[in-house]
Every structure is written in C-alpha cells, then in structure tokens.
Chains A and B, each alone.
Chain A
Amino acid sequence: MSHHFKRNPDVSWQVVDGQAVLIHNRMGEIMVLNEVGSEVWKNLEKGIEGITEVIVENFDVNKETAQKDVEEFINELIKVGAVTES
C-alpha cells in the first residue's frame, strides 16, 4: 500500500460538527464519517505516518493499533472510490 493518497475530485465534502460528510457526485452516494474517520479524511495529505501521529495525539490509542486502523480505513475509502493512491 502506498503511503500517499488523494481525495477523488468527484467527492465533495464538509465537516459538520466534527463529522465529515462525503458526497460522491457521480455515484450519488453519501457517507458520514465518525470522529476518527473524519480526522483521517481531513489529514489525508499527511500519509499513513502523519495521519497515525494525529490519531495517537488526539485519541486514546497506541501507535501500532492506530496505524493498523488507519490503513484499514483508507483501504475502505479506496474501495468505495473516495480516495486514490498517489
């Protein structure tokens, strides 16, 4: 898995009260991310390492678990077409 990612330009998004709302304009799908997922989404440009640091700083989780969760979540975002590897 690459460590750098890009948001799909067809996905418009906005953080509402701490939760990111993602709208896939071509597929017509709408996703709402939880607090952790929203941090991943907002910090996508930082890559796996950078995002993991943000998560460890802001949530009660160790680095290994955070990195594994971040990788799994980004894989999900890639699968639904919200993110591409760059």
Chain B
Amino acid sequence: MKEMILKVGPFKILLDTDKNVENLIQKYKPFISEEKDFHYKVKVLEGEDLFLGQGDGILNYEERLLEAGKVIFSNFFAGYYKSDGDLKLVLMKNLDATVRENSLENYLRWVTSKILMDNSGFLLHSCGVVKNGKATLLFGSSGDGKTTISDFSKRKGAKILSDDLNIVIKDKDRFFAYSTPFYGFMAQGEKDRGKYEIEKVVRLRKSIETRLEKVSKAMAVALIMAHCHFVSDLERNNRLKDVVLDLLRCVDCYELYFEKNDSFWDLI
C-alpha cells in the first residue's frame, strides 16, 4: 500500500508516496482514516531540492514564500504548502528509514500548522485534559510539566488528548480542542480522539506550592503565542494574534503553579 489518509483534527490528509506506507500506518494507527475522502493531498517524492544540507547535526528549518507557495526547507526535505489542497514533500534521496519517518512527521506538523492557520486555528504545545466533558489545555515548553500533569490526570480517570501538541480550532462561535497524531510520550492508543470545547487555557509553572492565577488578556496573548508550533512570519503572527484574541473572548487564561503531585486537580 502506497497511500494512507491521516486524520488531523477535523482534516484528512492523503499521503501519496512511492514507497510502502505500512510502517507509517502502524505509527499513526488510531489516526488513520478508512474512508476515501480527504481535504489535502501530499505527494511525497524523493529527489533534488534546495535542502539546507546535513550541517552540524542540528536540525535546521527555514521557511520561505515562493511562487510555488509556502516552502519549508530542512536538512533532509523541502515541503510545500498551498491552501488549495495540493501539497508536495520532496525528501532527500536514500534517507535512512528513521530520518525519512522523522522528516515526514516534521513536514506534517508544519503543514498542519499552516492548514490550521487558514482555518482559524493553531497547534499549541500543551497537555489536553478532558474534565466534565470539556478540555483544559495546559501549555508549556519541554520540561514545564505537560507529561507530569498528563500522568496525574490519567490516574484521576481523565481523558487525555495529547500530552505534547494539541489542536485549537474555531467552529462557529466556539473553540474546540483535538489531539494530534504527532510524537509525544503518550502511546497513540491512549490519546482521546474526540472533539471537546475548550474551557480554559493554562500556562504551567513548576512550583513548591499549588495555586491558579488568572492572567491578563495581553499577557495571555504573549504566553499562548510563545507556545504555538511553527509560526514565524509577520502575516502569520498577525493572523495568529487575531485567532488567539478570539479564543480569549471565549475562554480565560491562567497560570498554574503546581507541585509534583495531584493537588492541581481540583483547580483545573
């Protein structure tokens, strides 16, 4: 099989490759659609492009606007995005299987952020916890406690979306959260794949005490934007700012100072 359809929030992305995709189907299994319809098609090729070169081992990205659309160049791939739905990923020839898989995932993350931005949404580095049927997105950088919060919430019986990267998207007048198929510490099968209205967004702060403090809208804009995935240029920053402000008309933002135990649970 050389094609698969990945469900990313409300969108379906068809990957059309010249190689077998069985390993990818296993990797993203619960997020693979059995249906035939899709919103975006990505043609995956191998060949020559403006790669950044292998460099010093640090994975670099550079985003440019070309006639072909938005393009992301990395050490190992060049990925294209146009909002009309026909997308292309050019992988460097003869990549090691792991590098190929990682390149594909990095492109999919980037392309997802573009798709969401065109649809009043964004990707937030967060742990998504479902409580009383609504989602609380607890956001932060690596090491800020997303996985810790996820683990303690699971023990409380909560559904978890993703412990690393969640979708925020507007639908009519409300904002909703979805999990993503992308890499985190959680197994794919443990992620809840439902659509949940967002109740609040919370910046994580490790502390020696547990308390929840509301933050001003202005500070919330800055905190949330700083934790969005793959946003870099002026146009997108402005559009993202507008979407975040829209979100903050619907939900409040807090900072959760928390100890490494479950004392945060009643506060979220």
Interface, chain A (partner B; CB < 8 A): 10, 12, 14-21, 23, 25, 28, 30-32
Contact = CB atoms under 8 A, between A and B. Distances in A.
A25 B233 contact: yes
Contacts of B225: 23, 30
A10 B216 CA distance: 24
B22 to A, nearest CB: 38
Contacts, number: 45
Interface residues of B, number: 15
B219 interface: yes
Interface in B202-223: 216-219, 221-222
A31 B225 CA distance: 11
- Residue of A16, A20, A25 with most partner-chain B CB within 10 A: A16
B226 A17 contact: no
B222 A30 contact: yes
Given A12-B241, A14-B241, A30-B226, A25 B218 contact: no
17 contacts: A12-B237, A12-B241, A14-B221, A15-B218, A16-B216, A16-B217, A16-B218, A16-B245, A19-B218, A19-B219, A20-B218, A21-B218, A23-B225, A23-B237, A25-B233, A30-B225, A32-B218
B234 interface: yes
Given A21-B222, A30-B222, A31-B222, A12 B216 contact: no
A16 B221 CA distance: 9
A32 B222 contact: yes
A47 to B, nearest CB: 25
Contacts of B233: 25
Contacts of B218: 15-21, 32
A38 to B, nearest CB: 9
A12 B234 contact: yes
